[in-house]
Amino acid sequence: MQQKLVLASTSPFRRELLGRLGLPFDIANPQTDESPLPGEQPEDMALRLSEAKARAVASQFPEALIIGSDQVATVDGKIYGKPGTHDRAVAQLRELSGKTVNFFTGLCLLNTATGEAQLKGVPTLVTFRQLSDSEIENYLRREPAYNCAGSAKSEGLGIALLTGMRGEDPNALVGLPLIALCEMLRNQGVAVL
């Protein structure tokens, strides 16, 4: 019998991405403190939080494969999280205008039957073009990306804010690196195809 697959996330974007694989899965809310630790590097934080999210729901699913994922957006070591409000989104986009941002996505697949956790970080470099204040306001009015790190949805109208992207998996930028996840699932004996 195949182990239950669980997505430890309430993100509709991650749910949609995982659904593309055509595997049945459950969803659990990890309710994890996402604050950085003192002196923690952004990439380390994304990996730690992806595993923490998976482990946060592990007791509810003793014979499962639990997927945890977390993403940080950084420029020169500064973290850009989910803005939450219009004013913070405007400020983020002003700061990111003309810059290349590392959207680093941490991924964890936790086998609760064995305790084994597979971890991988997937970077995606995104270059924002020079943005005017009116373009920023027009964008956020049409697509209020307040729950997205970096204040832009590349899978939506946010693509118009960019000049380029470089990364190994376009799904990583949306929040769930499916190429890495498929490899992790195969390592656990799960046939995606």
Q: What is the CATH number of the domain that holds 77?
A: 3.90.950.10
Q: Is residue 28 part of a domain?
A: yes
CA 136 to chain centroid: 23
Cα–Cα distance between 84 and 105 in angstroms, integer?
19
Nearest of 158, 156, 180 to residue 167 by alpha carbon: 180
Per-residue pLDDT of the chain (193 residues; tens, 9 = 90+): 579 999 999 988 899 999 999 999 999 999 999 888 999 999 999 999 999 999 999 999 999 999 999 999 999 888 898 899 999 999 999 999 999 999 999 999 999 999 999 999 999 999 999 999 999 999 999 999 998 889 999 889 999 999 999 999 999 999 999 999 999 999 999 989 9
Say whether 26 is catalytic.
no
- β-strand partners of 67: 7, 109
- β-strand partners of 73: 80, 103
Amino acid identity for residue 114 in this structure: T
Cα–Cα distance between 190 and 2 in angstroms, integer?
7
Looking at the structure of the chain, the number of domains it has is: 1
The pLDDT of residue 82 is 87
Buried b (16+ CB within 10 A) or exposed e, 11-23: bebbeebbeebee
**Residue 17 zone, left/alpha/beta (φ > 0; ψ -120 to 50; rest):** alpha
Q: Is residue 108 part of a domain?
A: yes
Q: Is residue 193 part of a domain?
A: no
Q: Is residue 15 part of a domain?
A: yes
Q: Is residue 94 part of a domain?
A: yes
Amino acid identity for residue 17 in this structure: L
The pLDDT of residue 1 is 58
Q: Hey, how many other C-beta atoms are within 10 angstroms of the C-beta on 153?
A: 19
- Structure tokens that stand for 60 in this block: 């509810």
Q: Which residue segment(s) compose the domain that 43 sits in?
A: 4-187
Q: Is residue 183 part of a domain?
A: yes
Q: Is residue 147 part of a domain?
A: yes
Q: Is residue 29 part of a domain?
A: yes
Catalytic residue among 70, 87, 133, 169: 70
What pTM did the predictor assign? 0.92
